[in-house]
Amino acid sequence: MVGVVIAAAGQGKRMGGSIKKQFIELEGKPVLLHTLDLFASRTDIADVVVVTSAEDVAQTRELIASYPVVRVVAGGAERQDSVYEGLCALRACEYVLIHDGARPFVSQAALDAVIQAVRERGPAILAVPVKDTIKRADEAGQVLDTPPRKSLWAVQTPQAFLLSTILTAHEKARSEGFVGTDDASLVERVGQAVYVVEGEYTNIKLTTPDDLIMGEAILRQRKEKES
């Protein structure tokens, strides 16, 4: 079976305001509940752990009271620490999806694809081809080179792993004081192949106020398609 760790321990400073982004409402519903709904109806999901800051544990537990398979644990100083706490809290799962609490728009088709990939090939991540030309520059701002765009992907979540594989990678990183930019980077550094599964450009992470405007538009468009 598949478990899910939802990382929702960030402070959301770039969002501004006094409400943390997982509690901000979209279409009258907190962002975190939109995210939980992605997994609530799936029969292949056996366990869901939400990791939040210690100060938000009580509020989060109250918020998710109607989701019986979801548990809440306190995170650590960095996202990587928080994800590790979530991984350690999972019960009876062979595979795990690690997902951002503020990324509530991933489709069921994308979830199907990344789960199938991890089962058939190994560690898998959702990502989309980069649309813009990318430049590498030095500290002075001088361009060093232009990587070929066809080889560049913008990484999303969820990222999917064998639970034993990602736990081993996290524990090695912790013992060596390494902090990666995502969970897949921890697996890469222990020599494990990671595979890209093409995702969707609508699978955005809510980080700034502009993202909320985009998120509301995505929800409206989906409602129109369903009606």
pLDDT of 166 higher than 90 = yes
**43-65 pLDDT tens trace:** 999 999 999 999 999 999 999 99
Other C-beta atoms closer than 10 Å to the C-beta of 82 total 23
Residue 144's H or E segment, with its range, is: strand 143-145
CATH assignment of 2-226, among 3.40.367.20, 3.40.47.10, 3.90.550.10, 3.40.1030.10? 3.90.550.10
d(CA 27, CA 34): 10
pLDDT of residue 12: 62
Confidence of residue 19 (pLDDT cuts 50, 70, 90): confident
Q: What ranges in the chain are assigned the alpha helix state H?
A: 31-40, 57-63, 79-89, 108-120, 163-176, 183-188, 209-226
Q: What angle do CA 218, 196, 192 make, to 5 degrees?
A: 140
pLDDT of 196 higher than 80 = yes
Contacts of residue 209, defined as CB under 8 A and 6 or more positions apart, other chains included, come to 15, 16
Model confidence pTM above 0.75: yes
d(CA 49, CA 51): 6
Rounded to an integer, the average pLDDT of 174-180 is: 96
pLDDT of residue 83: 97
In the chain, domain spans: 2-226
- Does residue 124 or residue 27 have the better pLDDT? 124
